[in-house]
Structure 1
Amino acid sequence: MSKAKRLNEMIMMVNRKKRFTVGELAQEFGVSKRTILRDLQELSEMGVPLYSEVGPHGGYHILKERILPPIAFSEDEAISIFFMIHALKHYTSLPFKIEYESIKKKFYLNLSGDIRDAIDRLEDRVDFMAVYQQEEIPLLRQLLDAAIQQKVIVISYEVNEKISRRSIQPIGIYANEGKWYCPSYCFSTKDYRVFRCDRIKALTADEDTKPIDLSNITLKNRYLILDHDKETLKLYVELSKKGVEKFQTVNWSNIKLTKREDGTGYLSGSITKKDIYFFSDYFITYGKDAIVKKPFELVENIREKLYEILKIYNN
């Protein structure tokens, strides 16, 4: 058996066994203990989290983190993965505790020389432009864990420089335009809400509130938990070509984009009355590239806000 194949099989074996001795590995692979010790040293340098214990009951065991066996990538696949990791540079906070720079460096150093050369040539030629996330958000992992485990938590939430306490059951977290958001069911208002993660200042487990069953609710279909008995308003918005391009970066399951052959399009769907203020601010950013036709309440709110803006400049 070649050394490379032995190391590969050794990684898979230590993942399965968790605890092992040098003698066991030597017998398994038919080599000397000295060879196994050299192999374990190489695995450690490759990043396999091994821990050794001395004594009659000693040996090796793998730490909590597991290491995946090597995976063969084509040149295009390797370059694509590198630049996907590279795109995370715009976010200073992630829901995982490992910094993306560490992952990128480890991945880069294990590539062959010609692929590293190709990445070096491309790194200053390819980028993913995004809004930089400025704030540190330390609670992302706790919010994600609460969503996965369907736990109810109490958050301290800042709105208009005031802190309020709310019981919520997170559905998940997502990033958009440099901000992290946490769509949740809010027990305080008995309604679906989307919370800005940077405004969540603290969280604790809520032992007094029984979770609701959100096992089938995901980020994609989260609008299903809305109370459909509430009054909703029909939305219709005409979009120019630029408006269509801008809206394609948005993913709202209750609003559908229909594109025409000439590149223009329109939005149709429904919104609740409490969403009027949000959507008026949102569609104002489109300028002439979005013309709201329905609902009347949204059109009126946009008109009022534009009038207030116009008064500022007239003065």
Structure 2
Amino acid sequence: MSKSKRIMELMMTVNQKRKFTVKELSREFGVSQRTILRDLQELSELGVPLYSEVGPHGGYRVLKERILPPIAFSEEEAIAIFFAIHALRHYSSLPFETESSSALSKFYYYMPQDIRDRIDQMKNRVDFVTPTRQISSPYLSILLDAAIQQKVLLIDYESREKRSNREIQPIGIYTRNGLWYCPAYCCQNDDIRVFRCDRIHSVVHSALKPMDLRHLDLENRDLNSLVEQEYVTLFAELTKEGVQACEAEPWPVPKLHIRQDGTGWLEGNIRKSDIQFFAKFFIGLGNEVTVENPPELLDSIKRNLSELMAKYVMGGNLC
């Protein structure tokens, strides 16, 4: 086996093993221990984070931030990956901000010159536009880790009404229109709530025992398995423009149905506690929506419209 091939296979081997001895690698590759030591030195110089442990049970260990082995990409795959990462530059905060910038630089630097030229020509021809936000969300990586590891966090949170401390167990994080959100189980409210990540002022780990929320994720954050909720059935007819407006919304329910002519309807069970949200949303759609059910939602829409009218009417005349 040539030295270059042995170094490549050695890199993949140590990444898989995580912990190993020089003697083990020597037997596996059929070379002397001295040769393996020289190879490990080369891997270390290439950036593989190796840590040596002394003692009778010592050896080598690959640190958590280990280097992944090379992966062969086609030209089109490489360009697709580049622009997927390049599109993230619009976000003021990311859960892996430094890493994405570093990965993009490495990816671009090691591409052949002709592919780099092609990317340079495409940069001003294709983009994934996201509204640029000045506000930051510095705790995204902690929230994401808590969602994966099933941890409870104590956050200092500023809602529209007040600022308070909350103990939450995150389900995940997602971004919409340049803002980051964290759906989480809120211990104080015994309910799933969605928190704006930029409104979180501080985060520390809580000693509270976490719930088992592994069955919940961003695609399935239904409350039926957690707390009892009252539901009502929503039905609303939509014009073409109404359909387009609802297509941009991330809710799993109510479900959007589209006809061949472009019109459609919304149908599904919603929580009673969400009626006010949907009332304001449908008011924003104006004549592009006709809400038929439930009666509670119709009453809420009428009440909101009456309050809005009262705000702009003085003495029976428009201001």
TM-score w.r.t. structure 1 length? 0.83
CA-to-aligned-CA distance 1:201-226 (integer Å, 9 cap, x gap): 1223332x432221211111101446
Mapping of residues 82-121 of structure 1, within 5 Å:
82-96=82-96, 98-121=98-121
**Alignment partners' CA distance in 2, 1:117 and 1:26:** 46
Aligned to 1:210: 209
CA displacement 1:116-161 (0-9 Å, x = unmatched): 2221111110000112232221211221222122222222211236
Inter-partner Cα distance in structure 2 for 1:262 and 1:43: 62
Change (3 A) 1:153 1:126: same
Where does residue 124 of structure 1 map in the other structure? 124
Q: Residue 222 of structure 1 aligns to a residue in which SS? A: coil
After superposition, residues 146-185 of structure 1 pair within 5 angstroms as 146-160=146-160, 162-185=162-185
Matched residue, 1:266: 265
Letter in 2 for 1:249: A
Partner of 1:277: 276
Partner of 2:245: 246
Give the AA of the match of 1:298: L
1:152–1:205 Cα contact (<8 Å) kept: yes
**Aligned CA distance change for structure 1 residues 278 and 52 (closer, same or farther; 3 Å):** same
State the Cα distance separating 1:19 from its structure 2 match.
Answer: 6.2
**Contact 2:91/2:130 (8 A) holds in 1:** no
Deviations 1:7-54 (CA, angstroms, capped at 9, x unpaired): 4213213323556669x6799475997998599558745x4345689x
**2:235 maps to amino acid:** Y
The DSSP-based 3-state class of the residue aligned with 2:194 is strand
1:236/1:292 contact within 8 Å kept: yes
Answer with 92-101 or 132-141: which moved more. 92-101
**CA distance in structure 2 between the aligned counterparts of 1:251 and 1:30, rounded to whole angstroms:** 57
CA contact (8 A) 2:223 2:229 kept: no
Q: Helix, strand or coil for the counterpart of 2:249?
A: coil
Structure 2 Cα separation of the partners of residues 226 and 135 of structure 1 = 35
- 2:11 partner SS: helix
Gaps of 5+ in 2: none
1:196 — aligned with what? 196
CA contact (8 A) 1:276 1:297 kept: yes
Q: Secondary structure, in 3 states, of the residue corresponding to 1:72?
A: coil
Q: Whole-Å Cα distance in 2 between the matches of residues 145 and 115 of structure 1?
A: 36
Counterparts of 2:28 and 2:173 in 1: how far apart (Å)?
48
Name the SS of the counterpart of 1:165 in structure 2. Answer: strand
Question: Could you tell me which residue of structure 2 aligns to residue 74 of structure 1?
Answer: 74
Going from structure 1 to structure 2, the CA distance change for 1:68 and 1:252 (only over 3 Å counts) comes to same
Shift of 1:81: 0.7
The one-letter code sitting in structure 1 at the alignment partner of 2:245 is: K
Q: RMSD of the TM alignment (CA)?
A: 3.4
Task: State how far apart, in whole Å, the 2-side matches of 1:176 and 1:185 are.
Answer: 20
Q: Kindly indicate whether the alpha-carbon contact (under 8 Å) linking 2:233 and 2:269 is maintained by their aligned counterparts in 1.
A: yes
Q: Which moved more, 1:219-228 or 1:103-112?
A: 219-228
1:162-219 C-alpha deviation (Å, 9 max, x unpaired): 3112222211111111111111112211122111111121223332x43222121111
Letter in 2 for 1:159: S
Q: Is the contact made by 1:167 and 1:187 (CA closer than 8 Å) also made in structure 2?
A: yes
Contact 2:236 2:292 in 1 (8 A): yes
Please give the alpha-carbon distance, in whole angstroms, between the structure 2 residues aligned to 1:135 and 1:28: 53
Is the contact between residue 236 and residue 289 of structure 2 (CA under 8 Å) also seen in structure 1? yes
